[in-house]
Amino acid sequence: MFQPTAVRQMSHGGMQVETAFPLQLDSLHDFRLTLGERSVVVKGRVAHSRISDVDQDIITYRTGVEFIELSDRVAAAIAHFVDELAK
């Protein structure tokens, strides 16, 4: 099922995402990431999740996702993107 997700932080090994729904600890998910002009699909494991904001009836969750089983090509694309942002 497609669900829009906001990426708040990204590193070589994972990312922090913001959602309007909770993600279960240790669950696995596929994420399609747009990295500049490239688009990749990564598998991630939910490492932690918490409520980050409550505004009337809207709850926002911040979730840490650890990348797993990255191919060399995808790992290189993520590394290039993260390194370019750090400049």
Domain extents in the chain: 6-86
Domain 6-86 has CATH 2.40.10.220: yes
pLDDT for 56:
83
pLDDT for 3:
84
Record the tokens describing residue 18, joined without a space: 């913001």
Q: Which of the residues in the chain have pLDDT under 50?
A: none
pLDDT for 55:
86
* Rounded-to-10 torsion of CA 22, 25, 30, 32: 50
pLDDT for 57:
84
Residues for the chain: how many in total? 87
Cα end-to-end distance, the chain, whole Å: 35
Angle (nearest 5°) at CA 66 between 63 and 72: 145
pLDDT for 51:
94
pLDDT for 53:
87
Q: Is the pTM of this model over 0.75?
A: yes
